[in-house]
Amino acid sequence: MIVFNKPIPALPFLSNKLPVADPSDEPLVYMDDVFLCDSKYYRWVEQDGAALPGSSPSIMCRKTVCEMVKKAEELLPEGYKFVIFDAYRPAAVQQSLWDYFRAVKVKEFPDATPEEIDYQTMFCVSFPSYNILLPSLHNTGGAVDLTIVGPDGKEVDMGCEFDEFTDRAWTRYYEPGEAGDGVNDTARANRRMLYNAMTEVGFTNFPSEWWHFDYGDEKWGLATDNAPIYGGILDAEVRNTVPYENMELVRETNRKQQEMVKEIKALRAKFKELDEEVAKVMRG
């Protein structure tokens, strides 16, 4: 039986890159067909509730991720449910977020070098990649942002808001010995409930964001010593997508890269077949 009050362990902030050598063909599925959803970038608070280019009222993720989130939700106490904020994120949304938060960091650190600004920005959002074998986290469909709603239908107190990039956003902020120790016992209990439910089914947590969990992507791979499973999808053509500049170019680029990956997989399979044939002949 899951122990919800188990303390959240100290987690390293993993920043090195892991390429996706053999990306899965697993499809994306709609989370809003299964869960309560509140697509944050379709109603982005930093733009007075306006939609970011490329965003959608619908939220998608990989099929396995959706099944795992459902298993985690079933572990919650009676009356508690998840509400999903974000999962699969098209490259256009990632680019918009990067541009916004990078501009914020330029104002916060006026004397910093461009490289230092990029480093600070990465604490808020992953660098937007247009290479599906070196994808940003949400572009894989393996990352999910979520919280919990209680029996009253209201979001439980997590001690800070989603996308509040301050010290309070770090998952362990309210754990004993951390900066927020004793400040908010309710938030600590709620963060533990979310963390323990999600990690129980195989997710890893991004330590600077209490709401962010990974499976099959780079951060999950680094945390579990596994190869990433999911490559990027530049634009999955999610239903009701908000149009953006050069949308068809991005979609065509995505189609071409996906085709190249299929060709590479076919060549690998052929090489394996030839190796087996040679080995059989050599064994006599």
The model's pLDDT over 28-77, given as tens digits with 9 standing for 90+, comes to 999 999 999 999 999 998 888 899 999 999 999 999 999 999 999 999 99
Token digits for 142? Answer: 């393996």
Token digits for 75? Answer: 């572990």
Tell me how far the alpha carbon of residue 229 is from its chain's centroid.
13
Percent of the chain past pLDDT 70, that is, above it, reads 99
Strand partners, 276: none
Predicted TM-score of the model (pTM) = 0.92
Give the chain's radius of gyration (CA, Å).
20
Percent of the chain past pLDDT 90, that is, above it, reads 80
Alpha-carbon distance of 196 to 191, in angstroms, equals 8
pLDDT band at 9 (very low <50, low <70, confident <90, very high): very high
Token digits for 189? Answer: 């209990």
Alpha-carbon distance of 78 to 268, in angstroms, equals 48
CA dihedral (31, 173, 100, 125) positive or negative = negative
Give all domains of the chain, ordered by start, each with its CATH number: 28-244 (3.30.1380.10)
Tens digits of per-residue pLDDT, 15-25? 767 889 899 99
Alpha-carbon distance of 20 to 210, in angstroms, equals 25
Q: Find, among 145, 162, 46, 55, the residue nearest to 100 by Cα.
A: 46
10 Å CB burial of residue 66 (0-12, 13-18, 19+) is buried
Question: For 95-114, what is the mean pLDDT?
Answer: 95
Q: Whole-number mean pLDDT of the chain?
A: 93
Q: Which amino acid is at 119?
A: Y
10 Å CB burial of residue 118 (0-12, 13-18, 19+) is middle
CA triple 152-153-157, angle to 5 deg: 85
pLDDT given at position 184: 85
Q: Which amino acid is at 230?
A: Y
Tens digits of per-residue pLDDT, 221-263? 999 999 999 999 999 999 999 999 999 999 999 999 999 999 9
Contacts of 77 (CB under 8 A, 6+ apart): 4, 193
pLDDT band at 88 (very low <50, low <70, confident <90, very high): very high
CA distances from 161 to 40, 149, 223, 248, 277 (A): 12, 14, 25, 34, 59
pLDDT given at position 92: 96
CA distances from 117 to 18, 113, 125, 163, 281 (A): 22, 6, 12, 18, 58
Token digits for 207? Answer: 């330590």
Tell me how far the alpha carbon of residue 83 is from its chain's centroid.
15
